[in-house]
Amino acid sequence: MGYRDGVVDRVHVEQGTDILVVRVEGNLDLEETRQVIEKTRGNTAAGALPRLWDLSSAEGDFSREEIRRIADLAQREEHSPPRIAVLVGSDLAFGQTRIFGVFRETAQTEVQVFRDEASARHWLCGHGSG
């Protein structure tokens, strides 16, 4: 399946030695969000590295049920990261991502929402409780 509306061009994956950063830009719907998750899942070299999802330049307005579906899809990852930090740029995204965290978090994976990248990176490296 190809990416719709150039979503692949709006997703940038940067793998460091201790963190995987996924930067997403633009307005995403449920199908595009699924495609973004699938794109990062294909990065097997990242293994279970902590993830920073930078959604500060992305927009989306999802229902509670859609957020649950996104979290369910994200949980199917073979090697779940120990921590997922989500960087957001709006109050709506902050609230929706907190709901996502409730659905996505497991005994193996912690999820926290941040408004600045430095704090997110600090937490991902094992410092602080969010």
pLDDT (tens digit per residue) in 102-125: 988 877 788 999 999 999 999 998
Tens of pLDDT along 42-54? 665 556 789 999 9
Task: Report the pLDDT value the prediction gives residue 117, as an integer from 0 to 100.
Answer: 96
Handedness of CA 119, 120, 123, 125 (dihedral sign): negative
Half-sphere exposure of 103 (CA within 13 A, CB side): 19
DSSP 9: G
Domains of the chain as residue ranges with CATH:
4-124 (3.40.50.10600)
